[in-house]
Structures are given as structure tokens and as C-alpha cells.
Chain A
Amino acid sequence: MDFILQPWPWYVTGPLIALVMFLLLYFGKNFGMSSNLRTLCTISGAGKFSDFFRFDWKTQQWNLLVVLGTIIGGFIAHFYLSVPTDMELNPDTVASLRDLGFQNAGKSIVPAELFSWDAVLSGKALLILVIGGFLVGFGTRYAGGCTSGHAISGLSNLQLPSLIAVIGFFIGGLIMIHFLFPIIFN
């Protein structure tokens, strides 16, 4: 049982993610998590402002159930299928994070410096979560998909547009980490 409680290696989780894509295709649907953000906008009444949100959200109910499942899955994995373990991050990564002001890198899933309510209520972390979340939601719909829709589903079907999108993901990510992080976290 111990191997269940430890982090799972990449060569186990990677193929299992592909299995999730396969299951959804087998159920006559497709694997794309970001579509749910659009559906949630529609449910919230965004159709009053743009055609883009005028569709019958009930056709997307299945995907909302997948989302609900992921929340439950996160809960089960965190509270029942794991023991507190330090992440095996590259020591260089940990050192560079310390320089940016992040202590305890890898001791929890996410840094308290960004995700604790204390940090959020002090302002800066709040701004980061809002801007970062906004960019994710805006970018994913603009690009027509996220990591699941493009990097997994699209590349698995050898779609050139998905490869271009993934290249875009990396352009953005590299700019953020290498040029903007030193400014944001100085």
C-alpha cells in the first residue's frame, strides 16, 4: 500500500492521464477542462452580454460532472491517499525560489507565500491570483484549449494547431519565470 501513499512516478501518471482522455472519447465526449469556464460563465448569465455564451449549458453537464469529480478526487488523494512527503524538487530550483523569497519550497503542494489567506489578505498575493487566473481563463479560450485540450488531446491526434498552442504556452511560461518573476518577487 505504501506506493499508493507516495507520489506516483511520471511513467505511471502520464499514461493514466491519457486513459482519462480515452475514457471520455469512449463515452462519446472529449477531454477538455477549460470549456467548463465558458459553461460556468453561461450559467452565470454571460449570454446577456455576448453570443459566445449563448448555448444550452445542459449539453455540457457531463463536463461539469467531471469537474465536480476532480474536486472530490483532489480531496480523496490529499486526505486519504497521501502521507506528508517533501517533494523531490531540484536543489537548484529550491535555491532559486529562496532567492525570490519562497521559503519551504516543496514542503507543501503550493507556497503559502501565494496561497495562504494571510498572504492573500495582505494584497500582493491577491493581485497575483487575480491576474494569473484572468490570463489562464482569457488565454485558454483565445487559444481554444488548455493543457488537456491541446497538449494531451490535440497532440495525441497530431494536430498542428495544438503544437502551436503548446509552443505558445511555453513562450508565455518562460517569459513569466525568467523575466517577470525577478520583477514581481524582488
Chain B
Amino acid sequence: MKQLKFLLTGIFFGIVLYKSEAISWYRIYEMFRFESFHMYGIIGSAVVTGVLLVLLIKRTHMHSTEGREIAFTDKDKSYARYILGGTFFGLGWALIGACPGPLFILLGTGVTTIIIAILAAMLGTFVYGLLKNKLPH
């Protein structure tokens, strides 16, 4: 039962992202053409709310259900991996109109061909694992 909350959080996330239309290939295309505020509104309001929630957690020294104070780890400081990796990611995101969350949500909506993209994404992750030490980070 302790695990059920994760399943429920996932269900909630899937519903929210579906209802936001952020899982739509068309919305991603429209976003990269700057022809609608829609996606910027979603990401922007998520970040503003997120900043406030993170502040709340830090200010109140909030504890998790695991009993420990919620801690944040800073991301490693560097540029190459973020700009290069980010660019690769962006190329793929725009092409198939789905990032890792929507890849799985779309499967639930009956877009069964997305399995191909999911397997390809696993392959991409696998190849990164193989090349990790040779790539600039």
C-alpha cells in the first residue's frame, strides 16, 4: 500500500498532461513556431508555482513521508553536457512531439505506434551509457 501513492500520482500526472494538450505533437510544433502562448503558459505557470513550493519546503524545513527533511541536490556545474545533450533532446522532442512523460501517456491513449519511439528512446539511453566516458561533459 505504501507504493500505491506513486501509482496514483502517476495517474494524476497522466490525466493533467493529457487535459493540458501538452502531449500533442501539434502543440509542440506550435510552441517551437511561437504561434501560441499555450505551452509557455503551462511551463511558465508550472515553474512559478514550483519555485513557490520549493521555497515553502525550504523555509518550513518540511519533512517527507519518509521522515527526513526534504533535501535538494544541486545539479553538477558544467555547460557542455547541458547545452549539447539539451540540443539532442530538443531535436527529438520537436520531431516526435513527445518527451519522456508523454511517450508513456500516449501509449495509454491508444497511440500504440509510440512503442517504437519508447524502444528507440531506450536504445538512445543505452548508447549514451556506452559512450558516456567519450563525450564532453
Contacts and interface: CB of A to CB of B under 8 A. Distances in A.
A15 to B, nearest CB: 4
Nearest to B16: A16
A52 B109 CA distance: 32
A76 B11 contact: yes
B105 A7 contact: no
Nearest to B41: A10
B137 to A, nearest CB: 8
Given A169-B90, A172-B88, A172-B92, A151 B122 contact: no
Nearest to A96: B33
Interface size class, chain B? 35 or more
Given A134-B120, A164-B82, A176-B94, 9 more contacts: A27-B64, A37-B125, A106-B26, A134-B127, A138-B128, A140-B125, A141-B129, A142-B81, A144-B85
6 contacts: A49-B129, A50-B132, A73-B12, A75-B110, A133-B92, A133-B119
Interface of A: 7-11, 13-29, 33-34, 36-38, 40-41, 44, 46, 49-50, 52-53, 61-63, 65-78, 81-82, 87, 89-90, 92-93, 96-97, 105-106, 109-111, 114-117, 120, 125-126, 128-148, 150-162, 164-178, 180, 184
Interface of B: 3, 5-33, 35-39, 41-51, 53-54, 57, 62, 64-66, 68, 70, 72, 74-79, 81-101, 103-114, 116-130, 132, 135
